[in-house]
Amino acid sequence: MHEMSVALAVVDQVAEAATRAGDVTAVRSVRLQVGELAGVVPDSLAFCFELACAGTLLEGAELVTEEVPGRARCTPCAHEWAVGMPPRLTCPECGGTGTDLLAGRELQIVDVYWEDSGPTHAPTREPISEER
């Protein structure tokens, strides 16, 4: 199940960002964009995320996933369409096979909410770069 490796990578990236921030006491939630074509099952990812968080700064954190629908554009006629699952990559308008996939392969951390040891103890929203 590759969802476990994805969950472990998310936990590692968030923990690394929390360490860089220096005063994080707990991570409350992590929001991910998951493309329809990314090959990730959100329910399986949520289960694996809970296991991967055990014993870390993220223990008890909520995983919020946002599905990004697959979209394509026909190179010859510029028509755009939802590709669906299984993906339809032939243009429904002109039948062309030259297509550009515009969206649907995303798998990225959008933001993280955590608490720090500052005086207000309010959750902090921290975006995490896609680069590693």
Residue 60, pLDDT above cutoff 80: yes
Residue 22 pLDDT: 87
pLDDT tens digits, 9-50: 999 999 999 999 988 999 999 999 999 999 999 999 999 999
Handedness of CA 65, 50, 8, 132 (dihedral sign): positive
Q: Could you tell me which residue, 8 or 2, shows the higher pLDDT?
A: 8
pLDDT level of residue 125 (50, 70, 90 thresholds): low
How confident is residue 121, by pLDDT bands cut at 50, 70 and 90? very low
DSSP secondary structure letters along 74-85: ETTT--EEE-TT
| pLDDT tier at 130, thresholds 50, 70, 90 | very low
- pTM, to two decimals: 0.78
For the segment 72-120, what is each residue's pLDDT rounded down to a tens digit?
A: 999 999 999 999 989 999 999 999 999 999 999 999 999 999 988 765 4
CA distance 44 to 106: 17
Strands 80-82 and 71-74: antiparallel
3 state DSSP class of 65:
strand
Q: Name every residue whose Cβ is closer than 8 Å to that of residue 53 and which is 6 or more positions away in sequence.
A: 11, 59, 60, 61
